[in-house]
Homo-oligomer: A and B are copies of this chain.
Amino acid sequence: MKLTQFALGLVLSVVSMFAQAAIPWTFQPLPDQPPIPEGNPQSEAKIGLGRQLFFDPRLSVTGTHSCNSCHNLAAGGEDGRALPVGVYGRKGRRSTLTLWNAAYHTVYNWDGSAGTLEEQAERHILDPKVMGMPDGAQLVARIAAIPGYRTQFEESFGETGVTFTNIAKAIASFERTLVTTGSAFDDFLRGDKQAISTQAQRGFEEFIEQRCASCHFWVNLAGPQPGLALQQGQGFYELFPNHPGTDYEERYGLADDIGRYDHSQIESDRRMWRVPSLRNVAITAPYFHNGAVKTLNEAVRVMAKTQVRHELSEAQVADIVAFLRTLTGEFPKIELPRLPATPGRTAVAGHDD
């Protein structure tokens, strides 16, 4: 937060200045290409390899869970559930975040505990409640035993070949292609005023009026511009619930999780959360860090009440939801990869019974 106070102050003034007149400059269409880190340049071979790894359940200890099991790219890039289910039927404690457009974030997970997509991938592979690999070395041994993978790692990474770092790098490279440009809202931002309905336009104005745009702005409607206001690894966090003691807080257990404090152990991080993107929000129900709210309409009511102490009318809710639906983008076609086989033997021996 400290790092972004200046940027945020600027944004708030500009938003209020332009709200009545034109589209605030703090809203920008999603660029075709997200930032690519210097240490992991994109290549076609690496993206293809990452796509295979992303869909490969052999990355989990039991051979049952691929990245796609929870981050479902046939849908909203998450699992449509309140809480995820990992290996051995283990329940996670926070709702799965979408991977669509994740590359425009500067930190990962609800508490910002991973600074890069690479780190996020590594942590989820090793998390006992997610993919449950005991350590990176065991995964490397499993992957390196698959001839098709060995060749491909050499193509993508040269001599270093199959390493845990390279597995994460390949997955992250693929994830940086998961971009949903072409939403109606992007067309609207580019000047096509007919691209979204008049109700959605009213909803957009209401969105700004209700100060939703104080946090949900810039290309990913998730905060300051990566690379300029925020460097990779620096997060944009907000307090949630901001106004304590609402009925919603009680009903949905919104304050039961200590948020970023859990990771940072800094007192001021209690109930601080990374601001999530609103792109494709209409297809990623249920909502919030605990997935307790089942519908988008209710999520809008909850946010207005807990964050800015407003009680919205049903018409206001409907308008804002109409706007939020314009944030659903176009999803790139993804070919199901062919996973290289471990010919004639099982890859998950010892973890399959």
Which of A181-189, A234-242, A339-347 interfaces with chain B? A339-347
Grouping DSSP codes into helix (H, G, I), strand (E, B) and loop, the A interface class, with mixed when no group exceeds half, is loop
Q: How far is the CA of A295 from the CA of B346 in the complex (A)?
A: 7
Question: Does A73 touch B at the CB level, under 8 Å?
Answer: yes
Cβ-defined contact, A291 with B352, below 8 A = yes
Q: Chain B nearest CB: distance from A62 CB in Å?
A: 7
Cβ-defined contact, B285 with A345, below 8 A = yes
Q: How far is the CA of A126 from the CA of B59 in the complex (A)?
A: 28
- Other A-B contacts than A286-B345, A296-B345, 9 sampled, CB-CB below 8 A, are A52-B74, A57-B79, A62-B81, A73-B336, A285-B342, A285-B344, A291-B346, A294-B349, A295-B346
Q: Chain B nearest CB: distance from A262 CB in Å?
A: 20
Complex interface: chain B residues within 8 A of A64 (CB): 69, 79, 81, 85
Cβ-defined contact, A348 with B81, below 8 A = yes
Complex interface: chain B residues within 8 A of A35 (CB): none
Among A15-68, those with CB < 8 Å from B are 52, 55-58, 62-64
User: Which one of A73, A79, A83, A352 has the highest number of Cβ atoms from chain B below 10 Å of its Cβ?
Assistant: A352
Q: Hey, what's the 0/1 contact readout for A73-115 against B, CB within 8 Å counting as 1?
A: 1111001111101001110000000000000000000000000
Q: How far is the CA of A159 from the CA of B294 in the complex (A)?
A: 31
Residue of B62, B74, B344 touching A297 (CB-CB under 8 A) = B344
Binding site for B on A (CB under 8 A): 52, 55-58, 62-64, 69, 72-76, 79-83, 85, 88-90, 282-283, 285-286, 291, 294-297, 321, 325, 331, 333-339, 341-349, 352-353
Q: How far is the CA of A267 from the CA of B339 in the complex (A)?
A: 42
Residue of B55, B57, B336 touching A335 (CB-CB under 8 A) = B336
Cβ-defined contact, B55 with A74, below 8 A = yes
Complex interface: chain B residues within 8 A of A82 (CB): 346, 352-353
Complex interface: chain B residues within 8 A of A57 (CB): 72, 79-80
Residue of B74, B88, B296 touching A339 (CB-CB under 8 A) = B74
Cβ-defined contact, B286 with A343, below 8 A = no
Complex interface: chain B residues within 8 A of A90 (CB): 89
Q: How far is the CA of A343 from the CA of B297 in the complex (A)?
A: 11
Q: How far is the CA of A353 from the CA of B288 in the complex (A)?
A: 14
Cβ-defined contact, B74 with A56, below 8 A = yes
Cβ-defined contact, B282 with A353, below 8 A = no
Complex interface: chain B residues within 8 A of A335 (CB): 333-336
Chain B residue nearest to A330 in the complex (CB): B338
Residue of B69, B74, B283, B353 touching A291 (CB-CB under 8 A) = B353
Cβ-defined contact, B339 with A336, below 8 A = no
Q: Chain B nearest CB: distance from A335 CB in Å?
A: 6
Cβ-defined contact, B80 with A347, below 8 A = yes
Complex interface: chain B residues within 8 A of A88 (CB): 89
Ordered nearest first, which 8 A-B pairs have the shortest CB separation?
Answer: A89-B89, A296-B344, A81-B352, A283-B341, A285-B346, A295-B345, A82-B352, A286-B346
